[in-house]
Amino acid sequence: MNPPDAIIVGGGIQGVSMALTAARRGLHPVLVEKSSLAAGASGNSYGIVHGGLRYLQMLDIPRWRRSRLAQAWFLHEFPAQVRPLRCVMPLYQGRLRSPGLFRLAMAFEQTLAATFDARVPLPPPQLLTAEEVKTEFEVITEGLAGAACWHDAEVTDMPGLLQAMLKRAGLEPPSLYMPFEARELLTQRGEVIGLRIADVNNGDTREIMSRVVINCAGAWAGSWQQAAACPTARSLAFNLLLAGALPGNSALAVSRIPGKGRSYFMRPHPEGIFAGTYYRPAPDATEPAVTAEDIQAFLDELNSALPGMHLRPADVKAVMAGLLPDKDGSGERLSSDDHILTHRPHGFYSIVGGKFTTAPLLSEDAANRIWPHLNRADHMAATLVKHHG
C-alpha cells in the first residue's frame, strides 16, 4: 500500500471533515482516533448548525456567508442526520435584542440569501408579535416586544453524521486507526515523515509514514508531543437533558436578563427538554467533569430566564459535556487566526477551536494551504452558490 497523503489525528467533526476534504481532492488520508468517533466535544455538542443570522446583527457579512454556506452544505449533503430547526428568540424594548435590530438583520438576510442556491430552502426569518410569543411560550412578558423567528439546522444523529462523512471519504480500516493514540511525530531534517501511534487496548506502537500530519485533536491538540504550539488551556461546556416537555417543535432562545447577555437554547427532546449550552473556564481539566455547582449555576440561569419552570437538580436526567480549546484559560474563545496553525517541522499542521458549523470550511482553507498545487476550487461553494450571468 502507498503511504497515505496525510495522517489526520482526531475523529471529531474537524478530523472527519478534513478527511472528507482531502478525499474530495483525490488524496488518500488515514485517520487516527484514540477513543471512538464523536467521543470529544463533537458528540456532546448541542448540535445547532448556525446559519449566521447573528453575524448580520454585527454587520459581519463574510462570517455570515461562511456560516450560511456550511449550514446549506450540511442540510443538502446529509439530510438523514441534519434537519431544519425553527428557533424563536423573545425581543425586548430598549435591549440589544430589539425588533429594530432584528428587522435590519432580516432585510440583509433576505437580500444576501438570494445569492444562494441552498437546495434545501429554509423559510425566511420573520418577526412574531408579543401576543404570538405568549401563546407559544411562557416567557418574561415585561417589556416583551415580539420575537425573532428563524430557521437554523440541527444535527439529530451526531455519530451517524460523522460515520456518513467518513463513508463519503471512503475511510474504513485499515485507513481508520481506532482506538489508536497519536504519540510522536517522526521527523527527518526538519520535515515530517510520519507518526508513531499506540494501540489503546494493548499499548503496542506502530509507525505510519506520511509527509503530512494534521492535528485535529480538539481540546487535546496541545497535549501530545510536538504539538506544543497549540493552546493547552480549556473551557468546559455542557448541556442538560431535563424532565418535562416543551410545546411545539421549536427551539426557544432565552437569556438571564431578558434580551441581553448569553443565550441558552431549550428544545423538545424525545425524553424531555434539551437545554444548552453552559460554559465556564476549566484551564487544567483533562476530562469534562461537571460538578453539582456547575449544574446549579446553569439551572439558576435558566430559572431567571424562564421563572415559570422552577427547575431543580432532580429534574436533570442527563448531562452532556465536552472540553474546548481556550485562548488562555479565561474562557475566551480562539480567534479565527488561531484556527489553522502551521508548525515546525514542515508538514505538521493543526486545526483547532472552530465551531461545529464551520469545520468543513476550515478544512477547505487548510487544504488550500497544505496542497496549494491541487485544485483550489471551493467545492462547497461550487455545489451551492448560484452563478449569475
Contact 230, 325 (CB under 8 A): yes
User: Is residue 355 near ligand FAD by the rule CB under 6 A?
Assistant: yes
Site residues for ligand FAD, 313-352, by CB under 6 A, read 320, 322, 324
By CB under 6 A, name the one of 6, 8, 13, 195 that touches ligand FAD: 13
Per-residue CA distances from 349 to 41, 254, 366 (Å): 20, 38, 8
Could you tell me the sign of the dihedral formed by the alpha carbons of 147, 149, 152, 153, in that order? Answer: positive
Dist. CA 22–CA 169, nearest whole Å: 8
By CB under 6 A, name the one of 23, 357, 360, 364 that touches ligand FAD: 357
Q: Which of 69, 7, 39 is nearest to 384 (CA)?
A: 69
| Cβ distance to ligand FAD smaller for residue 279 or 371 | 279
Could you tell me the sign of the dihedral formed by the alpha carbons of 218, 223, 226, 232, in that order? Answer: positive
By CB under 6 A, name the one of 88, 216, 251, 290 that touches ligand FAD: 216
Site residues for ligand FAD, 266-295, by CB under 6 A, read 276-277
Is 377 in a helix, a strand, or coil? coil
Compose the 24-63 pattern: x for residues touching ligand FAD by CB under 6 A, - for all others: --------xxxx---xxxx-xxxxx-x-------------
Dist. CA 211–CA 346, nearest whole Å: 9
| Cβ distance to ligand FAD smaller for residue 237 or 361 | 237
Dist. CA 139–CA 175, nearest whole Å: 51
| Cβ distance to ligand FAD smaller for residue 10 or 146 | 10
User: Is residue 150 near ligand FAD by the rule CB under 6 A?
Assistant: no
| Cβ distance to ligand FAD smaller for residue 145 or 380 | 380
> Where would I find the H helices in the chain?
13-24, 41-44, 53-57, 61-77, 99-113, 130-136, 158-168, 292-305, 359-370, 379-384
| Cβ distance to ligand FAD smaller for residue 11 or 90 | 11
Q: How far is the CB of 41 from ligand FAD (least distance, A)?
A: 4
User: Is residue 303 near ligand FAD by the rule CB under 6 A?
Assistant: no
| Cβ distance to ligand FAD smaller for residue 232 or 239 | 239
DSSP label at residue 228:
T
User: Is residue 153 near ligand FAD by the rule CB under 6 A?
Assistant: no
Binding positions for ligand FAD, rule: CB under 6 A: 9-15, 32-35, 39-42, 44-48, 50, 181-182, 216-220, 224, 237-239, 276-277, 320, 322, 324, 355-357
